[in-house]
């Protein structure tokens, strides 16, 4: 078995999908887990990007069906988490409107992030004289603070925190996991980025979001493809078993090997 075949098997990505079947499978997966966990619904942080938009659409469909089937109220809570002013926050609200999310809340993380950064900076200065965190270090605080806030809300409202991790992020370790805060359930896990786009179009994700460059929003101008130096087209081709340029394949497989700790459980002896 080649490394490419091994990676595809590990991540569970199919070469092609039946979009309607995939939507049905993932909605049923969410419904079954909500009932099994004995919770009141799902929480999804809506960034204004395509992944969280698709997850929001699946979550709302699942909780609407549960409410209709059981006669009890199940909710999908959409959480918007800007850091200060977010230029594309309107896209987050557009997702909520597209899927008729009646439960939504905005939690601005700027003050919390800045306070944590300040505390860390003081500690760093006592070690090596640094007075400011790096751009990446501040970005990590943003990601973790968002997760802490989501779990605070989920605990009080008895909801499951939904992740937006998928195969194209899994191969690069470019996602929220373990030290970044983790999540409770991942309905997109075995799709690649191209397939998520197919599902998005079927669900009715707003066109403005379909046209955006994927980003984690960790700093101004940051994009996934720019950060990784690999296009999502190449990434998706690889996960569908297709041939890509040798130098791109080598880079992608190198990243996969270096980020194994992001996919594995917490090690111990």
pLDDT at 135: 86
Q: Which domains does the chain have, with CATH numbers?
A: 3-110+140-263 (3.40.50.620)
* pLDDT at residue 206 is higher than 90: yes
Residue percentage of the chain with pLDDT more than 90: 72
The separation between the first and the last C-alpha atoms of the chain, rounded to the nearest angstrom, is 30
Write phi, then psi, for 231 (nearest 5 degrees).
-75, 155
What pTM was computed for the model? Answer: 0.91
Q: Which residues pair with 44 in a beta bridge?
A: 78
Residue 63: per-residue pLDDT? 98
* Given 22, 51, 165, 186, the catalytic residue: 51
The pLDDT, as a whole number, for residue 179 is 47
CA 69/CA 89 separation, integer angstroms:
34
Contact by Cβ (8 Å): 233, 214: no
The structure tokens listed for 221 are: 């101008």
Angle at 226 between CA 222 and CA 228, to 5 degrees: 110
Q: What is the pLDDT of residue 178?
A: 54
pLDDT at 245 over 80: yes
Told to judge if 169 belongs to the known catalytic residues of this protein, a careful annotator would answer: yes
What strand order describes the sheet that includes 103-106?
103-106, 75-80, 41-45, 159-161
User: DSSP letters along 143-205, please?
Assistant: HHHHHHHHHHHHHHHTEEEBP---HHHHTTT-S--GGG---SB-TTTT--HHHHHHHHHHHT-
**For residue 230, what pLDDT band results from cuts at 50, 70 and 90?**
confident
pLDDT band at 177 (very low <50, low <70, confident <90, very high): low
Q: Which of 22, 91, 165, 169 is catalytic?
A: 169
Q: Is 130 within 8 Å of 121 (Cβ atoms)?
A: yes
Token pair in block for residue 8: 């595809």
Encode pLDDT of 186-205 as tens digits.
Answer: 999 999 999 999 999 999 99
Distances (CA, A) of 104 to 136, 207, 265: 29, 21, 32
């Amino acid at each position: 078995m080649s490394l490419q075949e091994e990676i595809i098997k590990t991540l569970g990505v199919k070469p092609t999908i039946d979009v309607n079947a995939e939507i049905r499978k993932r909605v049923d997966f969410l419904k079954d887990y909500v009932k099994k966990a004995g919770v009141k619904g799902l929480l999804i942080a809506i960034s204004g990007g395509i992944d969280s938009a698709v997850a929001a659409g699946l979550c709302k469909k699942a909780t609407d069906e549960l409410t209709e089937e059981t006669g009890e109220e199940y909710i999908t809570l959409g959480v918007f988490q800007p850091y200060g002013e977010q230029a594309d926050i309107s896209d987050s609200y557009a997702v909520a409107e597209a899927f008729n999310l009646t439960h939504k809340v905005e939690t601005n993380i700027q003050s919390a992030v800045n306070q944590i950064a300040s505390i860390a900076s003081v500690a760093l200065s006592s070690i090596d004289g640094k007075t400011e965190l790096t751009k990446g270090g501040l970005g990590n605080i943003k990601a973790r603070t968002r997760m802490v806030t989501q779990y605070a809300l989920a605990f009080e409202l008895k909801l499951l925190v939904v992740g937006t991790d998928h195969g194209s992020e899994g191969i690069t370790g470019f996602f929220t996991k373990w030290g970044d805060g983790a999540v409770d359930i991942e309905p997109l896990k075995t799709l690649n980025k191209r397939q998520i786009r197919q599902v998005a179009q079927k669900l009715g994700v707003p066109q403005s979001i379909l046209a955006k460059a994927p980003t984690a929003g960790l700093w101004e101008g940051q994009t996934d493809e720019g950060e990784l130096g690999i296009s999502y087209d190449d990434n998706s081709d690889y996960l569908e078993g297709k041939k890509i340029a040798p130098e791109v394949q080598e880079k992608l497989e190198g990243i996969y090997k270096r980020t194994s700790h992001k996919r594995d459980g917490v090690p111990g002896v």
